[in-house]
């Protein structure tokens, strides 16, 4: 990130270079140039990071190939508006010397925060992930969260620009900004190393997880009329021996299948439920993704469908269900439905009218497990929004993420999704169990360390214990307050450096 963020400083420098800004015309022209530079840089950043969305469009090319340019270029063009806004806000008060780095960091992290929250929010590839993908550097997220990492990343990676250039010909070149940048990076690493140096996290007793990654293709074979073959394949894979000492399903207390495991309504298919129940030993349960249909209500026409996590016991009974709250726009529902459907637009999932959102984020009570915070697909990428409201203030003890990244094939998309999901375990101090159709499936401890995983694009199972939760982190307790304090401190530092210049 050194190159794009240092370049950002020089682009804003160039937008106001040699302009007196004594007139409103010069001022607005400078803002316009900064906004334009920010948009182009943001557009390039998002195209480079989100091109793989085109794979989802081509999964059913006969229906959605026309949307390929929108997926690859349209979304980045919209997201780049936030980068443009950040550049423009910084240019409004652009000072000299090191202080402008703090102004830039505040403006950019503030607009990245907006990007993750405006409308439904889309914090994918937030700049803070440049630090968050490294388990050592990411440990400070337990205090300041993703958005705090974004502000730090902007400071660290943009700071050297002040060492290699002067603004408007003022000030002397100095290595101090470079030293500050490296010192911040070193302190970040030292904190992470210290936090990871403690004893190993103990496991929850009497819990034996079996994660099933079917690698099921997103093609015509995944249809409701193939339900028997699909369930047979799941059960056969679930019963696979993973070592000479394992014997399959019988070893697991909790069998876990991914999101969208069935192309039919599982809770209404008695035969499939009975087959699943018969495969489980007494006391064991299956946790699986499945579409759920609402029961008919007097006076209401039609059925509502939900993207759900369901728990099936050894009697073949669904004992708990959670409905996804944060749906994917255009993937699971159409925004402004009544207007856009008139154009013939439809969502990617084959559900009449798309999915309905669940009522509220809530925990699940799963036999044999501590309280679970369920997260379906990209619900897990929203920093500070993954915890359900629990009566009495008791937090869950484990996060469960079921997802289907099969739409994106062998691209960088699933790796990005995995990294962003893993950061939630560091922020919350909770273990994370992630089961994905095509990968990456993993068991992650509350420090973000991978205890076991399955790679992308393989059909396999993973057995493992469940790590215990650690005490509530500062981020889990205070959420975005530390980030807001960082914003304030950075603005004060910008003023202080400006007075010294």
Percent of the chain with pLDDT over 90: 66
Task: Decide: 42 and 24 in contact? Cβ < 8 Å.
Answer: no
Residue 493 has pLDDT above 90, yes or no: no
**Residue 167 pLDDT class (50, 70, 90 cuts):** low
Residue 350 has pLDDT above 80, yes or no: no
Catalytic residue among 324, 379, 385, 427: 324
| Domains annotated on the chain, with CATH | 2-198+479-500 (no CATH), 209-469 (3.60.110.10)
Mean pLDDT of 361-375: 94
In the residue annotation, 259 being an active-site residue is answered as: yes
Please report the pLDDT score of residue 59 as a whole number: 61
Tokens of 384: 């500070």
Please report the pLDDT score of residue 14 as a whole number: 87
Catalytic residue among 112, 259, 332, 379: 259
Please report the pLDDT score of residue 342 as a whole number: 46
Q: Which of 3, 5, 1, 29 minimizes the C-alpha distance to 17?
A: 29
Catalytic residue among 112, 377, 379, 427: 377
What is the residue-wise DSSP string for 43-77?
HHHHHHHHTTHHHHHHTTHHHHGGGHHIIIIIHHH
**Residue 222 pLDDT class (50, 70, 90 cuts):** confident
- Quote the CA–CA distance of 164 and 185 in Å, as a whole number: 19
pLDDT, tens digit, for every residue of 387-415? 986 655 678 999 999 999 988 889 999 99
In the residue annotation, 377 being an active-site residue is answered as: yes
The HSE-up count of residue 380 (CA atoms within 13 Å, CB side) is 30
pLDDT, tens digit, for every residue of 81-95? 999 999 999 999 888
> Sheet holding 305-313: strands in order across?
318-323, 305-313, 285-293, 254-256, 209-213, 460-464
Residue 15 has pLDDT above 90, yes or no: no
Higher pLDDT, 169 or 393: 393
In this structure, what are the phi and psi dihedrals at residue 159, rounded to the nearest 5 degrees?
A: -55, -40
pLDDT, tens digit, for every residue of 107-163? 999 999 999 999 889 999 999 999 999 999 999 999 999 999 999 999 999 999 988
């Amino acid at each position: 990130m050194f190159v794009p963020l240092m370049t950002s400083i020089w682009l804003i420098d160039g937008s106001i270079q040699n302009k007196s800004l004594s007139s409103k015309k010069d001022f607005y022209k400078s803002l316009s140039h900064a906004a334009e530079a920010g948009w182009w840089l943001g557009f390039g950043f998002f195209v480079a990071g989100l091109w793989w969305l085109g794979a989802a469009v081509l999964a059913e090319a006969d229906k959605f190939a026309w949307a390929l340019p929108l997926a690859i270029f349209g979304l980045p063009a919209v997201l780049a508006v936030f980068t443009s806004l950040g550049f423009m806000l910084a240019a409004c008060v652009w000072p000299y010397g090191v202080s402008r780095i703090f102004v830039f960091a505040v403006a950019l992290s503030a607009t990245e925060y907006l990007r993750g929250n405006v409308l439904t929010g889309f914090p994918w590839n937030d700049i803070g992930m440049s630090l968050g993908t490294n388990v050592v550097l990411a440990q400070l997220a337990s205090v300041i969260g993703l958005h705090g990492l974004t502000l730090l990343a902007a400071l660290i990676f943009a700071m050297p620009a002040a060492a290699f250039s002067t603004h408007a010909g003022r000030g002397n070149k100095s290595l101090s900004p470079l030293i500050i940048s490296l010192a911040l990076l070193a302190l970040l690493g030292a904190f992470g190393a210290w936090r990871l140096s403690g004893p190993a996290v103990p496991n929850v007793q009497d819990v034996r997880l079996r994660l099933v990654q079917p690698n099921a293709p997103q093609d015509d074979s995944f249809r409701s009329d193939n339900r028997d073959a699909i369930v047979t394949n799941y059960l056969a894979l679930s019963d696979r021996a993973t070592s000479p000492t394992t014997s399959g399903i019988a070893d697991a207390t909790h069998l876990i299948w991914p999101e969208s495991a069935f192309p039919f309504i599982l809770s209404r298919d008695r035969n499939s439920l009975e087959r699943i129940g018969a495969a489980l030993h007494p006391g064991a349960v299956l946790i699986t993704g499945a579409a759920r249909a609402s029961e008919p209500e007097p006076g209401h026409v039609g059925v509502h469908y939900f993207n759900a996590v369901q728990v099936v016991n050894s009697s073949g009974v669904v004992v708990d269900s959670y409905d996804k709250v944060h749906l994917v726009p255009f993937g699971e529902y159409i925004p402004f439905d009544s207007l856009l459907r008139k154009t013939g637009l439809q969502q990617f999932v084959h559900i009449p009218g798309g999915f309905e959102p669940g009522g509220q984020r809530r925990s699940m009570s799963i036999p044999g497990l501590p309280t679970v915070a369920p997260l379906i697909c990209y619900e897990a990428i929203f920093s500070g929004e993954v915890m359900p409201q629990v009566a009495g203030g008791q937090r869950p003890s484990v996060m469960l993420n079921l997802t289907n990244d099969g739409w994106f094939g062998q691209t960088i998309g699933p790796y990005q999704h995995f990294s962003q999901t893993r950061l939630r375990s560091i922020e919350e101090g909770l273990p994370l169990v992630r089961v994905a159709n095509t990968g990456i499936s993993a068991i992650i401890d509350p420090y973000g360390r991978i205890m076991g995983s399955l790679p992308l694009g393989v059909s396999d199972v993973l057995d493992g214990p469940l790590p215990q939760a650690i005490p509530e982190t500062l981020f889990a307790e205070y959420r975005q307050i530390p980030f807001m304090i960082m914003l304030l401190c950075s603005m004060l530092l910008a003023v202080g450096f400006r007075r010294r210049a």
